[in-house]
């Protein structure tokens, strides 16, 4: 993408924006990287443009796009942070500084370097969410061009992408980006399985698309009789999500019925439920397939109604029903919320909720001194698979898969976790290392004056619980 194309695309969502700064950043980055090439042999500047292009596709503001163009100048050229601040101002300089890696020579191991770089980036992100969006755009282009690297580096980068970057994109609700990162990592880490599944999908695509088109036509004819505003979109699962489902359910690809489906987008919350009623009236729903992520949103603020119905030929079709706003959030996640804040100049409660979660989460992670423990806690808290646990009063707590009653206790309240002496799950006493399952009702038994034990650190999974326990034990001189 050249400069003119960038200006044109930004003008679509930010009309009348002065583009002098963009032109300056474009030329500054081009000059700074002029003597550098990538492993592919391309000019290094091509990467900077690709990162900026992704940020434009996410419809981010001009300073963020400029920071995307400049994101590597401090790390990889002779340009200093002071130079950048002088040329482009404090806002852009801080965004670039946030994604700039710490010098790896300072560290004793790769684990330590990786942990400290993640810690630095997350701390910066807590102040400005745009930093992690730039970093995700950077990683996306690096993954798209990863095949030019030696195999050992490909595997290391792909593993970090699948275990940290893709889950973080998921946690921030950026599903399009997350799915592409997962598929690109899948291709590197499991090349044989990727190739086999890709070939199977291509072989069946024509018949599945015909079946889906037929179902959409019938669905549209049924919905046209209503006055409810709506539009219908086709949906297909990513290769990695299909592969994971095959592994979990021990099925082959032909047995995975919901690899394709439809989304119905409407204008209001009330109409999502009205459309659900119509769908269930016209098509036979599959028992146990309905999930209401509107009443109980996911941790990343995702909201939608999910149901699976049977088509005329006996095929199973997954249907997602959501409002236009829910759809924007599902596609762009935190980037969409930032955009609304930018456009309206007001506080977006969803964005503030997301940032508060991030700030608190980073505070807990800060307490973990071991680089390996920090990375493992980060991966656990980014776990894509979550469980929904009920309190005795019917409140829902969302925890990562593998969480225990102690994690639940600290999720309810720190004081309850600290005084915990036992737990009941579905009215039966369980051990602290019991693994909670979605739908469990957990009741925590407490005793005044009771305190955390050192062996709790081997039981808990979440950064919050681990941080609170370690803080108490450190104050008592039990652990360093």
* CATH 3.30.460.10 describes domain 191-331: yes
**Range with lowest mean pLDDT among 287-291, 298-302, 403-407, 475-479:** 298-302
Provide CATH 1.10.3210.10 ranges for the chain: 3-174
Return the pLDDT at 330.
80
User: With bands split at pLDDT 50, 70 and 90, how would you rate the model's confidence at 347?
Assistant: very low
How is residue 48 written in tokens? Answer: 């900077």
Return the pLDDT at 358.
66
∠ CA 237-125-28 to the nearest 5 degrees?
A: 95
The position carrying tokens 């599959």 is: 286
Instruction: Give the residue-averaged pLDDT of 368-382.
Output: 70
Annotated catalytic residue: which of 76, 155, 200, 440? 76
Annotated catalytic residue: which of 35, 57, 61, 75? 75
User: With bands split at pLDDT 50, 70 and 90, how would you rate the model's confidence at 338?
Assistant: low
Element housing 261 (H / E): strand 260-266
**Range with lowest mean pLDDT among 44-53, 196-205, 214-223, 338-347:** 338-347
User: With bands split at pLDDT 50, 70 and 90, how would you rate the model's confidence at 368?
Assistant: low
Return the pLDDT at 346.
46
Contact (CB, 8 A) for 332 and 319: no
For the stretch 106-154, pLDDT in tens is 666 777 777 777 777 777 776 788 888 999 999 999 999 999 999 999 9
User: With bands split at pLDDT 50, 70 and 90, how would you rate the model's confidence at 172?
Assistant: confident
Provide CATH 3.10.20.30 ranges for the chain: 385-475
Alpha-helical runs (H) found in 71-145? 73-76, 81-88, 90-99, 110-127, 130-144
Contact (CB, 8 A) for 134 and 140: no
Distance of CA 359 to the CA centre of its chain: 16
User: With bands split at pLDDT 50, 70 and 90, how would you rate the model's confidence at 200?
Assistant: confident
Return the pLDDT at 345.
46
Chain mean pLDDT for the chain: 85
**Range with lowest mean pLDDT among 114-123, 137-146, 167-176, 271-280:** 114-123
For the stretch 446-473, pLDDT in tens is 999 999 999 999 999 888 888 889 888 8
Instruction: Give the residue-averaged pLDDT of 23-45.
Output: 94
Provide CATH 3.30.460.10 ranges for the chain: 191-331
CATH of domain 385-475: 3.10.20.30
- Provide Rg for the chain, Cα atoms: 24
∠ CA 402-407-410 to the nearest 5 degrees?
A: 165
C-alpha span between 360 and 30 (Å, rounded)? 38
Return the pLDDT at 141.
97
User: With bands split at pLDDT 50, 70 and 90, how would you rate the model's confidence at 28?
Assistant: very high
Query: In this model, does residue 369 exceed pLDDT 80?
Result: no
Return the pLDDT at 359.
66
**Range with lowest mean pLDDT among 119-128, 308-317, 341-350:** 341-350
Return the pLDDT at 124.
74
75 is annotated as an active-site residue: yes
User: With bands split at pLDDT 50, 70 and 90, how would you rate the model's confidence at 301?
Assistant: confident
Contact (CB, 8 A) for 386 and 439: no
Return the pLDDT at 49.
96
What would be the CATH architecture of the domain defined by 3-174?
A: Orthogonal Bundle (1.10)
For the stretch 64-106, pLDDT in tens is 999 999 999 999 999 999 999 999 999 999 999 988 876 655 6
Return the pLDDT at 315.
77
C-alpha span between 66 and 87 (Å, rounded)? 12
C-alpha span between 299 and 418 (Å, rounded)? 24
């Amino acid at each position: 993408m050249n400069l003119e194309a960038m200006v044109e695309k930004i003008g679509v969502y930010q009309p009348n924006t002065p583009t002098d700064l963009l032109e300056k950043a474009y030329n500054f980055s081009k000059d700074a990287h002029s003597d550098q090439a990538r492993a592919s042999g391309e000019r290094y500047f091509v990467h900077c443009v690709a990162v900026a292009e992704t940020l434009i596709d996410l419809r981010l503001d001009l300073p963020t796009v400029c920071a995307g163009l400049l994101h590597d100048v401090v790390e990889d050229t002779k340009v200093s942070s002071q130079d950048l601040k002088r040329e482009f101002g404090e806002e852009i300089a801080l965004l670039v500084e946030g994604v700039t890696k710490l010098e790896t020579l300072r560290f004793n191991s790769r684990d330590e370097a990786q942990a400290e770089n993640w810690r630095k980036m997350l701390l910066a992100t807590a102040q400005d969410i745009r930093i992690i969006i730039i970093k995700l755009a950077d990683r996306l282009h690096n993954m798209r061009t990863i095949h030019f690297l030696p195999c050992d580096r490909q595997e290391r980068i792909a593993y970090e992408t699948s275990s940290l970057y893709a889950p973080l994109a998921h946690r921030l609700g950026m599903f399009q980006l997350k799915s592409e990162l997962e598929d690109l990592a899948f291709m590197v880490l499991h090349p044989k399985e990727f190739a086999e599944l890709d070939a199977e999908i291509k072989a069946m695509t024509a018949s599945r698309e015909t079946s889906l088109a037929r179902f959409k036509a019938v669905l549209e004819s049924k919905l046209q009789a209503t006055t409810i505003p709506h539009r219908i979109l086709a949906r297909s699962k990513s290769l990695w999500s299909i592969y994971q489902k095959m592994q979990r359910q021990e099925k082959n690809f032909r047995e995975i019925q919901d690899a394709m489906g439809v989304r119905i987008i409407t204008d209001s919350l009330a109409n999502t439920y009205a459309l659900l009623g119509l769908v269930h009236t016209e098509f036979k729903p599959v028992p146990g397939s309905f999930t209401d992520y509107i009443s109980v949103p996911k941790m990343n603020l995702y909201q939608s109604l999910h149901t699976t119905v049977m088509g005329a030929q006996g095929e199973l079709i997954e249907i997602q029903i959501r409002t236009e706003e829910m759809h924007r959030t599902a596609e762009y996640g935190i980037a969409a919320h930032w955009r609304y804040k930018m456009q309206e100049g007001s506080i977006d409660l969803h964005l503030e909720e997301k940032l508060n979660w991030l700030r608190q989460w980073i505070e807990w992670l800060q307490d973990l001194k071991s680089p390996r423990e920090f990375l493992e806690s980060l991966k656990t808290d980014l776990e894509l698979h979550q469980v929904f646990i009920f309190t005795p009063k019917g409140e829902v707590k969302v925890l990562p898969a593998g969480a225990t009653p102690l994690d639940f206790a600290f999720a309810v309240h720190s004081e309850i976790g600290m005084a915990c002496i036992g737990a009941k799950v579905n009215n039966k006493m369980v051990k602290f290392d019991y693994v909670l399952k979605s739908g469990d009702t957990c009741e925590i038994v407490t005793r005044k004056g009771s305190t955390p034990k050192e062996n709790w650190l081997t039981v808990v999974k979440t950064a919050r619980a681990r941080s609170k326990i370690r803080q108490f034990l450190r104050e008592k001189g039990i652990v360093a």
